[in-house]
Structures are given as structure tokens and as C-alpha cells.
Amino acid sequence: MPIDVVDLRAFYATATGRAASQIIGRAAASLWPSARGLRVLGLGYATPYLPLVSDGAERVAAFMPAAQGVVNWPAAGLSASALVDAAMLPLPDAAYDRVLLVHALEHADSPTEVLSEVWRALSPGGRLMLVAPNRRGAWARSDSTPFGHGQPWSRPQLRHLLRQALFSPEHWLDTLYMPPFRDRLMLRSAAGWEKVCGGLGLPFAGVHVVEASKQLHRPIQVTRQRRVVRFQPVLAPGAGGALSHDGPPHPR
């Protein structure tokens, strides 16, 4: 069952949630340092990260799945959030240049349909950034955080899923190595965890951050044709035309 938007908002208001959003936000901002003149959409619960990847954007919106619920965003000014069906976005084709997917794919009934709908809503050459829990990380095993709910993913699973929806994965970042501490003193070691574990490339990061580009044409697999040796039968004369061993026939 998808986690409720009230629980998501409450988590990001805690010290653990703020530390997690800072770590993941730095990774996301390193991939999208500027969005000047672009249209940016957040799908799922992306509001803690949207301000970090939408600097200079022409338009920014936050869509939240119906099963999760919706909150007003941003806190000041006109609301840019909406409650939607993630598999049937109320958007025309090619409406956005970038889509940030957070706390969405792991709760979707059909992840392939969600990604296909994102593909439709992206402009040609558009980019998707996906934040998904790592099935080998400690955060996916903790029910006290949103990353411990829903379906966690491995790299091969995400790669297959993205390619199935006509996305080409281009950049992978694994982050959130620190365990889901609640103690403020332990949270101070978060930077050290990221530096040491990230530098060693250890496989138990809390989340995968993947940037993928929209493919316009389905790739065609080229297979080498195998030469087939065909045997042709040698025609033998029938019984009626066979010569007699007694010699040629006598004239009548």
C-alpha cells in the first residue's frame, strides 16, 4: 500500500528526513545544476527536491498520485501541485522537458505504465531523473522511513525497466550510505559515511539516482543470419524408364 502524503511530509520534517533530503538533493543537483528556460515536473513526492533542480525553470509543477494524497506546494504563492493518476497524466504530449520521479515508482501498480506515461509527457530529448530505494541498502529494510515501503530495486532491474519504457540510462549515482539514524549526534556523521562509502563504491547505498534520456525510436536488434545448407535431391529415372539388363527392346 502506498505511504500517505501526511507521513511523507512528517518524515521530511524530522532530523533524519532533512539529512536524507540534503544528501539526495546534492546528488540530484549535481546532475541537473540548472534548468534555465526548461519545464520541470515532479511526480510522486518530489517537493523536497524540486527547488534544487528547477533553478531558472520556465514552469515547475508537482503531481502526486491519487493513492498517496496531495499537499499544497509551494507554501507561498499560487499552488503548483495536483492530484493525478500517475499512469494517466492530464498532460498533452511533450509538455515537459524534465521529470523528477521520487516516491512514485516503488508504489506503482504498474511501473512500466508510469514510465511510459512519463515518456509521452516528455519533449523530444527530454530527461528523466529517478530516485528509487536500493534493495541492498539499509533504508529499504527500515519501516520508519518512506524508503522502506513499496518495491526496492536493483540496478539491473531499473536498467531493464527503463529500457523497456524506451529510456536510455546515462548517469547512475548511489547515495544515502548512512543508516537511518534518528539520533542527532549520529546524524552528524552523515557526510563521513557518504565520503568513505561512496569513494569505495560500496553496493549498500540507500537509493539509486538515475538520469535517463528519452529515446525517440525503438532499438532494433540486428541478428546475424546463419547460412543454411540446403540439400537438393538428385533425380533418378523412374521404373518405367529404366533400361533392361537384357539389352534394347526389339522392334515390332
Q: Is 44 left (phi over 0), alpha (psi -120 to 50) or beta?
A: left
Residue of 169, 165, 182, 181 whose CA lies nearest to 208: 169
Angle at 19 between CA 182 and CA 64, to 5 degrees: 105
Q: Concatenate the DSSP letters of all residues of 150-161 into one string.
A: S--B-HHHHHHH
Question: Is 97 within 8 Å of 37 (Cβ atoms)?
Answer: no
Pairing of strands 39-44, 122-133: unpaired
Q: What is the reported pLDDT for 154?
A: 95
Q: What is the reported pLDDT for 199?
A: 83
Question: Is 45 within 8 Å of 103 (Cβ atoms)?
Answer: yes
Residue in the block written with cell 511526480: 43
5-215 belongs to CATH 3.40.50.150:
yes
How many other C-beta atoms are found inside a 10 Å radius of the C-beta of residue 47? 24
Angle at 85 between CA 79 and CA 91, to 5 degrees: 65
CA trace torsion 210, 216, 218, 222 (10° rounding) = -100
The amino acid that residue 120 corresponds to is R
Residue 20 CA to residue 215 CA, distance in Å, equals 31
Residue 209 CA to residue 60 CA, distance in Å, equals 20
- For residue 216, what is its C-alpha cell? 525517440
Residue 243 CA to residue 231 CA, distance in Å, equals 28
Q: What is the reported pLDDT for 222?
A: 55
Residue 217 CA to residue 221 CA, distance in Å, equals 12
Q: What is the reported pLDDT for 90?
A: 96
Q: What is the reported pLDDT for 243?
A: 47
Low-confidence stretches of the chain (pLDDT < 70) are 1, 217-252
Question: What residues does each domain of the chain span?
Answer: 5-215
Mean pLDDT of the chain: 88
CA trace torsion 91, 3, 31, 42 (10° rounding) = 20
**Residue 120 C-beta-side C-alpha neighbours within 13 Å:** 14
What is the three-class DSSP state of 86? Answer: coil
Residue 237 CA to residue 221 CA, distance in Å, equals 48
